[in-house]
Structure 1
């Protein structure tokens, strides 16, 4: 058996959080270059994990989102015993997420207490939300020794992309490689309407960019097809509407061809930051102080109104001023 540390990370379910988790993986490698990192997470996050060279392998969790599945988690944990993990780091706070590493007999199980997980977690870390305001801070601190101070510099996520795969995807869509600058727009946000900048504002950004000779590509999952179609319609179908037409892996590669991105606070926003793209990140009901884009090329549009951040899926005051009062003109200034 190898003497190297072999770490199993129980990863988050959200795309954006998984991107931020790469800062933890980089920190672990900085501390011990020979450590082996496996990441167990929902299958839809594996395309991200595959683009993180710090990770040895991604392990798809077979449980449905929100499903307790006690016996299935125990059985799956037991199936990992032969892997010889020396530590588990659990990035989520649910009780059920700590069952698997306990069943896997991993001797050091590190996390915050979360949902009263005494026993399941035996390396309990204190969650000081003042000292650790950002999600990325909380992830990274779990990779440090107990009571260690956060490093002054936390490494940014950096996803690997493939221009070749991007070109193959364009061919599948019946499109050729871009010969002009490309602006990517990410108008979706799975969390809810209170994180979505109005479609008509995105359309104004698109029209102005097209008039300047740019191509505009609209990114989104199958859940975003209505908003990408609306934006495209408002621009007389002059955009490349990718909503629901690509998987996450293809979207990452296509985004790598973009010169700039405008995005809501969403998983794709964090992907754009990790691709080191010029990025305008728009925040409404959420806080850029909690989940900022980890990139020196990102700028943030956030009004910080008295009512925000509320972290609600829909505006509880029925006005959505936190987003509607961010004007397209201010976003366009960042794209000049």
Structure 2
């Protein structure tokens, strides 16, 4: 059996979009063993992917060189005798450990001039491979070979017992209809739908009998508190602010319990897609042509303004119309098309 080490990216969404690559590798006539070198926080994602045999912790924070420590890690990896390493990040640092481990075939895109570190260095054709998931999956093919399409969609496994335990710990009921709203976006405020819009949507969903859960990281607490407070002021059913109160694994459990999800372009958007939840994904400053949610049950809302996508952290023109003009009523209309019966 061949043994392949995949060096994972650092962002949640990018990790999810790496799964089609893993599926292509496992679909080979002789399925290889696949180990993933990933940050500790993303281990929960890869443990939910059926193609992954083991997760090895990558101990280096984003941007940290620590050359001697990477040499030590490479020597530890050498003991596993991998046949190939596939390096997904484009940084020079990410290619060091496979090089130090003397893995015979080291595959990846040229990136930061990594010719010496990668001996199977590919040049990226961005016109041919528009989606990030396609760019990753193409590394499973021999150099120069076209990417076979369509790609398999990402899929995260669900543990029903773990989900029940998460709901119990948080004092939540999962019996009635649940709407999960993901108001955060790590990159910056230009990717975030405004809090008053999320609050209006929360009120509309609560009136229709939904329990509304706000799910995100500790960095999303401020906007989540604003949403929950605005919903309370209107006298609607309570909105459960769960941002920063769960691990990533527990957040996956919560999203898996949802009847519908509304999310900014964020890591949790990709998690919801990989859990096959009915999903409305809100795009403003970023582009759905590059990192769309990969699911047949996902719908993208993007106004396509002349100034969008700008890929800025904050609206450079100061008007933020790409998100402000995307109204709660428009989102409700899209949800009605997704949910059986035509009315969320």
Q: Which runs of 5+ in 1 are unaligned?
A: none
Q: Which residue of 2 aligns with 1:202?
A: 198
For 1:228-253, what per-residue CA distance to the aligned partner results, in whole angstroms no more than 9, with x for missing partners?
Answer: 11111111171111111111000101
1:264 corresponds in structure 2 to 264
The correspondence of residues 152-167 of structure 1 with structure 2, limited to 5 A, is 152-167=149-164
Summarize the alignment of residues 59-208 of structure 1 with structure 2, pairs less than 5 Å apart.
59-175=56-172, 177-208=173-204
Q: Is the 8 A contact 1:163 1:257 kept in 2?
A: no
1:291 aligned partner: 291
* CA-CA distance at 1:34 after TM superposition: 2.3
Q: Which runs of 4+ in 1 moved over 4 A?
A: none
Query: What is the CA distance between 1:33 and its match in structure 2?
Result: 4.8
Tell me the CA shift for residue 123 of structure 1. 0.3
2:317 aligned partner: 317
The CA deviation at 1:261 is: 0.2
For the Cα contact (< 8 Å) 1:29–1:35, is it kept in 2?
A: yes
Within the candidate set 221, 224, 230, 1:225 is matched to: 221
The answer on whether the counterparts of 1:273 and 1:279 sit within 8 Å (CA) in structure 2 is yes
Higher mean C-alpha deviation, range 157-166 or range 50-59: 157-166
Deviations 1:164-218 (A, max 9, x none): 212211221223x333211100000011001000011011111001001111110
Structure 1 distance, partners of 2:30, 2:284, is: 39
Shift of residue 314 of structure 1? 1.1
In 1: Cα distance, 2:305 partner to 2:30 partner: 44
1:5 match: 2
Per-residue Cα deviation, 1:88-146 (whole angstroms, up to 9, x for no partner): 00001101111110000101000110001111011011200000111001000011111
Partner deviation per Cα, 1:289-332 (whole Å, 9 max, x = no partner)? 00010000000001111111111111111111111111111100
Using the alignment, how far apart are the partners of 2:67 and 2:38 within structure 1? 16
- Determine helix, strand or coil for the equivalent of 2:245: coil
**From 228, 234, 256, the counterpart of 2:230:** 234
Partner Cα separation in structure 2 for residue 49 and residue 153 of structure 1: 22
> Closer, same or farther in 2 for the Cα pair 1:226/1:108, shift >3 Å?
same
Normalised by the size of structure 2, how large is the TM-score?
0.95
Map of 2:249 onto structure 1: 249
Q: 1:130 aligns to what SS in structure 2?
A: coil
State the Cα RMSD in Å. 1.0
Counterpart contact for 2:25–2:31, Cα < 8 Å: no
Counterpart CA distance in 1 for 2:284 and 2:326 is 9
Structure 2: state its 5+ residue gaps. 337-344
